Structure 1
Amino acid sequence: MSTQQHLEEMETFSRKYQYDMNYLREFLESSPEGFEKFANFKPLAMHREFLPRDVFWVSKIAAMQVADCGMCLQLNVRMALEEGVEARLVKACIQGGSGLPENLKDIFDFATAVASYKAIDPTLSQRIDTQLDRRQRIEMGVSVATASVFPTIKRAMGETQSCSLMDIELKL
């Protein structure tokens, strides 16, 4: 994809999701080759083949909260709502998982522990095993792991002002 095509794609994305893409524009300008490799990574961050929609987004939002990035979290909230995740579930995630149905609370707690590099409670791991097959656990691992990439790049670039906790809007 050409630099102009990347810029146009970023502009469209930025308008659609009200998301500041300046850090990615700078990445593209400073290293077109590096950005091209990054662009090939982006589909992995949204890969969902085996996970139910709500499990995917609960795990993604839980992991994004660990990454502590307000703007990126807001983006994922908008994307979850756009995909049809119930606002009450998204709100429950933002409130630390309280109010989630038991199965999704387990997903939230598991994703949070994985993203935080904490030991997984064996009982929680067993409950996850009853919910998810091996393919789904792998896919959730990808969802959780990729959640930190965008805020990590922003922080490394010194974009800490645009990467901080904020009041999250629960509407499209």
Structure 2
Amino acid sequence: MIRRFLDRSISRFSNHYDYDASYMREILDESTAAGLQLAMSSALLQGDFGVSKEAFYAAKIRSVMRADCGPCLRLAMTMAEESGLSPDAVLPALGHGEPTEDAALAIRFADAVLDNSADLAETVEEARKRFGERARIGLAVAVLAGQFYPLLKRGMGHAATCESIVRDYIASNTREEFAHAAE
């Protein structure tokens, strides 16, 4: 029963996002318990802990971009879109456009965590002061989520390298399409 539920969940996810979830199926095929653990991990990795959508997705998209997995980056960008964010809110995490102050801090946070930079403690404290203790955890989860699936896929031999994601994203999604999708 659990296996069928997980199998259907993977199919819905894969179909909804036009995303190759074969690595998820491989885990489930190997072990129903592992498939359930992956689903539970996914629930944690989607938790924003109260940080704004803009900051959460800025950190997540920056992290997944740095993990160098085109399909995962497209997925994160689509999820940001579905949450109601505009291209102007999403593209700065990819280095295109001017981020808001909150997004800029989230991007700096992601970079500091991923680089284990000398200013990491200062950046984490700045995020705590700006967003609050709970939301700071949300930013950390966003950074982890951005790395989790690309690294899992890479380790399982399912990795894909980034294509020119920004150009393709801009070309296929006009501002009007985003406005219509947000309605």
Matching residue of 1:148: 147
Instruction: Give the direction of change, closer, same or farther, for the CA distance of 1:121–1:42 in structure 2 (3 Å limit).
Output: closer
Matching residue of 2:16: 16
| Structure 2: tracts of 5 or more residues without a match | 174-180
Instruction: Give the direction of change, closer, same or farther, for the CA distance of 1:125–1:156 in structure 2 (3 Å limit).
Output: closer
Q: What pairs up with 1:9-158 in 2 under 5 angstroms?
A: 9-94=9-94, 96=95, 98-120=97-119, 124-125=123-124, 127-158=126-157
Give the TM-score normalised by structure 1.
0.87
SS at match of 1:148: helix
- The AA in structure 2 aligned to 1:85 is L
Identify the range of structure 1 (99-108 vs 39-48) with the bigger mean alpha-carbon deviation: 99-108
- What CA deviation, in whole Å up to 9, does each residue of 1:52-90 have, x standing for no partner? 111111111111112221111110000000000111121
SS at match of 1:113: helix
Task: Give me the whole-angstrom Cα distance separating, in 2, the residues matched to 1:14 and 1:126.
Answer: 38
Task: Give me the whole-angstrom Cα distance separating, in 2, the residues matched to 1:116 and 1:148.
Answer: 13
Deviation of 1:128 (Å) = 2.9
RMSD of aligned Cα (Å): 2.1
Instruction: Give the direction of change, closer, same or farther, for the CA distance of 1:7–1:126 in structure 2 (3 Å limit).
Output: closer
Task: Give me the whole-angstrom Cα distance separating, in 1, the residues matched to 2:120 and 2:48.
Answer: 25
In the alignment, is the contact (CA less than 8 A) between 1:51 and 1:140 conserved in 2? Answer: yes
Matching residue of 1:167: 164
Instruction: Give the direction of change, closer, same or farther, for the CA distance of 1:97–1:110 in structure 2 (3 Å limit).
Output: farther
Task: Give me the whole-angstrom Cα distance separating, in 2, the residues matched to 1:134 and 1:73.
Answer: 27
Task: Give me the whole-angstrom Cα distance separating, in 2, the residues matched to 1:129 and 1:11.
Answer: 38
Matching residue of 1:4: 4
Task: Give me the whole-angstrom Cα distance separating, in 2, the residues matched to 1:106 and 1:36.
Answer: 34
